[in-house]
Amino acid sequence: MPTKAAFVRKDMLAPQEPPVSERGAIKWARENLFSGPLNTFLTIVGVLAVFLIVKSALPWLLNGVWNANSMAECREIVAARHGEGATGACWAMVRERWHQYLFGFYPQELFWRPTMAFGLMFVALAPVLYFGNRTINMRMTAVAGVLTILALAGVSASFPQTIAGSEAGGLALLAAVIVFAGLTAVAWMAPRRLLILTLLYPAIGFYLLWGGSIWGPVGALAGFAILAVVYNLTKAQLGVVVATGAGVVVAAIWWLVVQSHVTGALHSILPLGTAHVDSDEFGGFLLAFVIGVTAIAASLPMGILLALGRRSDMPLIKALSVGFIEFIRGVPLITMLFTASLLLQYFLPPRSNFDLILRVIILVTFFSAAYIAEVIRGGLAALPRGQYEAADALGLDYWQAQRLIVMPQALKISIPGIVSSFIGLFKDTTLVALVGLHDPLQGVTKVVRAAIEWKGIYWEPYIFVGLIFFACCFSMSRYSMYLERKLKRDHR
Amino acid sequence: MSDPHAITREIDRSHMQVSDEVAIQITSMNKWYGAFHVLRDINMTVNRGERIVICGPSGSGKSTLIRCINRLEEHQSGHIIVDGTELTNDLKNIDKVRSEVGMVFQHFNLFPHLTILENCTLAPIWVRKVPRKEAEETAMHYLSKVKIPEQAHKYPGQLSGGQQQRVAIARSLCMRPRIMLFDEPTSALDPEMIKEVLDTMIELAEEGMTMLCVTHEMGFAQAVANRVIFMDQGQIVEQNEPKEFFNNPQSDRTKLFLSQILGH
C-alpha cells in the first residue's frame, strides 16, 4: 500500500546544457573580465590602451617597405603609396644588411664556415639536450642538416662572388650534404656516438670560425689528452682530486707555454690550414652565439664545482669558492669586460697574445658560473640529509654520491634558475659593445646607422634584433619546461 | 601485555645460531655533540648471527649509537671495530665497513629520481663493480624476497610507505652485507604497514643475519632478538635476554620505561 509521500520516477531526465550565461565565452568573460566594478573598469582601460598602441603602430608596421636602397627611398615609397605624412617601417635595411647582423664583418666568401659551425652546433647539442632519445636526436640532426644546406645555398645565392660561384662551391655543398647525411645516419643507428661530435665540437667550431693553421685546435685538443694521461698515471698514487689538479696544471703549462712552439714547428713542417679570420671581423649574432654558447657550456660545470666547493668541509676550498663567488657577484659585468679588454693582459705571461673574444668569453663564463653556483647551492640545500646518508651508508664515495645521487636531484630542482641565468647571460652578450666588439644590438646597428643611406633609421634594427633574441630566449625557456616535465618523478 | 604487533607466526630458529666470531666490538666509546655528551662509555660486543634490539626513550642516543657503527656519526674516543676493521679517519676503512654493513633508515631514504630496480643496482654496480646484468638479477632476487618484484620499474614516489621500506631493505641486501642496522624502521609507517616490514625483518633473522635494530616493536624483540639493550642518557643501562628483560627488569629506569610502553 503506497503512502502519500511515496515517489517513483518514471522517466529519467536527460542531461541539459547549462544556461547561456554559464557556458563558453560568456561565462569566461563574466568571471575573468567583468567580475566587479573595478575589474570592469580595468578591462575597459586595458582594451583602450591596447587599441591606442595598435592604432599608432599598425600602420607603421603594415606600410613597411622591403625593397629600397636607402632610407630616403623608403620614405618616398611610403609617401607615394600611402600619401604624405604616412609612416612606414623600412625593412629594406634588414634585407640589405642582414649579413652584417648575422656575421658582422666576417669575410663574405667565408660565410659558409659560420653557417656550417652553426648547423653542426645543433647536431652536437642534440645528444646533450635529448639524451638517449633516438627519434628526437635523429630528427634534430636531419632538420639542422636540411636547414644548414638551405642556408648555405641561400648564402651562396646572395653572394655570387663567393665560393658557390666557382666549381668548388658545388663541391662544398655536396660535402655538407654528405656530412649531415652521415651524422643523421649515426644519430639513427647509434645516438650515443653523436657525443663524440659533441666532445670534438669546441675544436671543430673554433677551427671553422677562426681558421688558420690546423695545428692550433689539434694542439688545444692535445692539451686535453695530456690532462687525461697525467690523471690516469697519477690517480693511483695521488687520489682523484690531486690527480685532476696535476693534470690541469700540466695541461695549462702546455697550453700557455709549450703549445705555441710545438704547433709553430709542426706548421712549418706541414703547413695545413685554411684562411685565418681575425677576431676583429666577428660581429652580429655570430659573436653573440660564440660568446653565449661557449660561456653557457663552460659555466655549468664550473658552477657545479663552485657550489660543491662552497659546501665543502675543506676550509681552503670553501674559502676559495666563497671568495670567488662573492667577488664576481659583487662586481658589475661591465667592469669584468673592461678587465677582459685591458687588465687581463697584464696577468698573463708576456707575449701570450690572448684573443679579445677569448678573454671576454672567460670573464663572462666566470660571471655566469658564480650565479649558477648559487642557484645550484639552493638545489643542494633543498635535498634532504637522508639522501646523503643513504649514499654514504651504501659505500658510495664522495664523487660517486655527488654524480649519481646528489647532482641529478639538485640540478633538477635548479633547472628554472639555471635556465634563467643562461637567458640572462645570452642577452648580456650585447654588453660586449662596450669593449669595442660588434654585438648585434649596439655594435652592428651603430655601423648600419653610420652608413649614409640608412641614416635616420631607428626602430627597425632593434625590432629585428629583439625578435631574434626573443626567439632564442623563448626556446631556452620552453626547453627548460620540457626538461622539468620529463624529469618529474613524484607521481603523488 | 598489549602489543599491537605481537608476532604470532612460528619462527624457524634453525639458522639462528650465534657463533663465537666477533662481528662488532665497541670499547669505551664516547661521543659529544659540541659540549653535549651523547654517548658515554659504550662497551658492547656483537657476535656473528646475533640479533640485538636497542630500545630506550627518545634522546637516549640509541640511533646515534648504531649510526656510529657505519660512521654516519663520528665518535671522539674509544674504539669501534667492525668485521676486523677499525673505524678511524681513514676513508678507505670507512668505505670498506660501509660496503659490508647495510643500513635501513626510519624515512627509507630511497633515491626518488631512480626506479626501484636502479635503487637496488646502483651501489653493487658502482661500489662492488658488479656487471649490470648480474646486479639486476640479484636485485630482482631480493625484490622477490621482500615480495615486490612487480614494482621494479616504478619510482619510489609511487609506492606505499611499507613497500618503500621493503625496497630499502632489499637495496641494502643487494650489497650482500654481513651486518644489518635498522634505525627505527617502522616508526614512520601506518599500523597496517608495520607488519609487512616486520615480517621481512623476521625472515632476515631466520636466515641468520647479524642484526642491530633500534625499535619499539617489543613483539619483534621477544620473537627474534637474542639480546635487548636498554639505553638512557647516552648509556647502556641494562642488557639481557628478551625473556628476562621483559619479565624481570633489574634497574628502576628500565622498569619505568617498560611500564610506560607496555602498560597502556
Find the closest chain A residue to B69 by CA distance. Answer: A393
Rounded mean pLDDT, A250-270: 84
Nearest-CA distance A314 → chain B (Å): 14
| B65 within 8 A of B35, measured Cβ to Cβ | no
For residue A100, give every residue at least 6 positions away whose Cβ sits within 8 Å of its Cβ, in sequence order, or none. Answer: A283, A284, A444, A447, A448
B107/A395 Cβ within 8 A = no
Best CA proximity match to A205, nearest among A376, A309, A361, A336: A361
Residue written as cell 609506492? B159
| A438 within 8 A of A282, measured Cβ to Cβ | yes
Between the CA atoms of A19, A23, A26 and A28, what dihedral angle is there, to the nearest 10 degrees?
140
Cα–Cα distances (Å) from B9 to A147, A234, A304, B191, B262, in that order, read 71, 58, 53, 18, 21
Cα–Cα distances (Å) from A16 to A27, A30, A410, A448, in that order, read 17, 21, 51, 65
- Quote the CA–CA distance of B163 and B154 in Å, as a whole number: 11
Cell of B169: 631493505
Q: Tell me the H-state helices in A190-283.
A: 194-210, 215-238, 240-253, 259-269
Q: Report the residue from A386, A397, A491 with minimal CB separation from B95.
A: A397
Give the mean pLDDT of chain A.
87
Tally C-beta pairs within 8 A across A and B.
Answer: 69
- pLDDT for the residue A492: 43
Residues of A in contact with B103 (CB under 8 A): 390, 393
Residues of B in contact with A490 (CB under 8 A): 112, 155, 157
- Quote the CA–CA distance of B210 and B208 in Å, as a whole number: 6
| B67 within 8 A of B77, measured Cβ to Cβ | no
DSSP code for A14: P
A156-183 tens-digit pLDDT: 777 766 554 555 667 778 888 899 999 9
Give CA A321 to chain center in angstroms.
26
Is the pLDDT reported for residue B264 higher than 60?
no
B126-185 tens-digit pLDDT: 999 999 999 999 999 999 999 899 999 999 999 999 999 999 999 999 999 999 999 999
Residues of B in contact with A487 (CB under 8 A): 113
Nearest-CA distance A391 → chain B (Å): 8
- Quote the CA–CA distance of B262 and B254 in Å, as a whole number: 12
Q: Report the residue from B99, B109, B113 with minimal CB separation from A395.
A: B99
| A209 within 8 A of A114, measured Cβ to Cβ | yes
Q: Report the residue from A395, A409, A489 with minimal CB separation from B157.
A: A489
Query: In degrees, to the nearest 5, what angle opens at C-alpha B202 toward C-alphas B201 and B208?
Result: 95
A396/B126 Cβ within 8 A = yes
Q: For chain B, first and last CA: distance in Å?
A: 8
- pLDDT for the residue A240: 76
Best CA proximity match to A140, nearest among A484, A475, A429: A475
| Torsion angles phi and psi, residue A111, rounded to 5 | -55, -25
Cell of B20: 663465537
Best of B67, B68, B109 to substitute, by most chain A Cβ atoms within 10 angstroms, is B109
Label residues A59-97 b or e (16+ Cβ within 10 Å = b).
beeebbbeebebbeebbebbeeeeeeeeebbbbbbbebb
| A169 within 8 A of A157, measured Cβ to Cβ | no
CATH of domain A279-492: 1.10.3720.10
Residues 431-490 in A contacting B (C-alpha not used; CB under 8 Å) = 487, 489-490
| A156 within 8 A of A163, measured Cβ to Cβ | yes
A392/B72 Cβ within 8 A = yes
Q: Which of A207-211, A475-479, B84-88, B205-209 has the highest mean pLDDT?
A: A475-479
Best of A392, A394, A412 to substitute, by most chain B Cβ atoms within 10 angstroms, is A394
Best CA proximity match to A176, nearest among A128, A126, A117, A135: A117
Which residue type sits at A360? V
Q: Where in chain A is the domain with CATH 1.10.3720.10?
A: 279-492
Best CA proximity match to A194, nearest among A122, A146, A293, A295: A122
B98/A386 Cβ within 8 A = no
A60-119 tens-digit pLDDT: 888 888 888 888 888 888 888 888 878 888 898 988 889 999 999 988 888 888 999 999
Give the pLDDT band of residue B10 (cuts 50, 70, 90). Answer: confident
Is the pLDDT reported for residue A22 higher than 80?
no
Stated pTM of the model: 0.85
B127/A400 Cβ within 8 A = yes
| A136 within 8 A of A126, measured Cβ to Cβ | yes
B112/A386 Cβ within 8 A = no
This complex has an ipTM of: 0.91
